[in-house]
Structure 1
């Protein structure tokens, strides 16, 4: 009896996406909610497209959604509907027409898009169209405001002298400090802070590394040597295991370890 009921169900694909938001948007929670919706509405999920840890601001990096759209447009699919938890999981595009365009591509190919956690039916009625577009605007606005808040907080932390990610320069070490700037200990390679209230600041590294950094600057500024000649000279002195090779890429300085 169960096998027969499954055969009679409408084949559907599910699209799930999780970024770094609240736990209720975890992939497992989305799958559970979609499964309940499918059971109640007569769908059978036959394929899953997933984007884990991806922002909904654009299509870039969302290989799951790209593959879904490709399968729908080219007809390389075996389902008649796409089940998504809500409008924001489909995307938080700043241009609401972008989200509408992707949904239109599916509908034009004969594949319906169903939002399992929304209080409206995606049936093309005037009410559902208005509510859906409002949800799209709200989703985009949420991401825009969140981006501004995160950017503002990062800039403030940087002004206070706290590390905001990125590579550790040669001759520098990371010092873990409390929220009151009380020093805790120097972090080793690969170590991370354990408390969210702690901060990381840069401090001078070992004196041997500082001597090498000063020497590199003297060779470059006073002796007008190029970065490649500096690297070769230091390499010949058999200290390449401890030295970075400085190179120029555009207008940014970057380094990498010298070859043995």
Structure 2
């Protein structure tokens, strides 16, 4: 029988890449420094230096603290972060203390700090305690300590989460304080000069049709700055427009727990302006964000008469600028042609399309609102009713989820029975109201608008048309134009179909 060659197994050895570089940590309280010689900083430093000499360690630095043990390793003071950063920046392998209670009075804090050191392959040595995590026995101690550290960490996390839930239940601020508010004894308090900026942002967005970048440009032009003193940007404006806190509503959604409290604090804007801003956001998203920021009168309104997407919708057109020498030409180009090169119509001169549209509007103004009945009309209620219906249905679905989360939170012990009952009652009441609104909205969508109501709306649109022809600022002109026109179907520079809103 052939003899098999067997490899001898070698015992696993702990790999230790530690250097001989060490730091010391010494601490006294004010009372200890005055009354106890063995606790004094010179006494502790002398013993740490002697321990380093005995072991052959290079003592790089000694951190000195004259404060309570609770503060040395507290995350709120930032001292622990400073120590850990120094360790990482200076390739430290050993932390030496005179006694363990010089680190902290709390064993929990000591265990958690020791765990942080172990993650960095740093040993903790106490001169007068049997603790040395650089030895095999110390490694075993570290494994035991790590179990306790993980337990205490979870305990602390649970307490923090419980505290956050209590604050959320009370409608008290959590996390970053929104621009426009500060935190007072009762929660959110309005900062007057910041609140004026918030109001201005909503006015520029709702009333003057400025986009988020346009609002940022205007705020910077006026010399206004964010709370940190920075210039405004598209994202900082967006964060304000999307934050419902400015209506006085408190919202908190964390790890499956959803809490909403109306009239929690003083609002900066009213609910009507908030709803208008969200409706406008939906409209702008539908028209296309890039189109809204272009310096073209018809951007966002034009649809290609030759191209459709897979769902059968006409493809949008976007403004383009071509420069030939000293001349600049503006065009509207089909997005299909721009991305795929597959469009029969390609592109059209902007000045010609805009001239045809403005001439048609002028004709309507000259000949009276009765002429609009001969045009293509889209009842804007139809679209807005659909949008409202979608919003109501989404909110109803969100409430169903919120009720499930509240039940799960109660079962997990995060909610007590009284709070769960109160939360359930509020959710079910809002669900009933939404179901009623959905039924009414569907009835309106299926019904028809009386002729006299259409005529009244035409009169309103004609006023917007007059303002459009008098407006020289393109941003405001686009706002008036979008009040009048839903979209324009383009087959050629002479063949346009305008769909008016009433």
TM-score normalised by structure 2 residue count = 0.28
TM-score normalised by structure 1 residue count = 0.48
Q: Give 1 or 2: higher helix fraction.
A: 2
Q: Give 1 or 2: higher strand fraction.
A: 1
Q: Which has the higher contact order (CA 8 A, sep 6+)?
A: 1
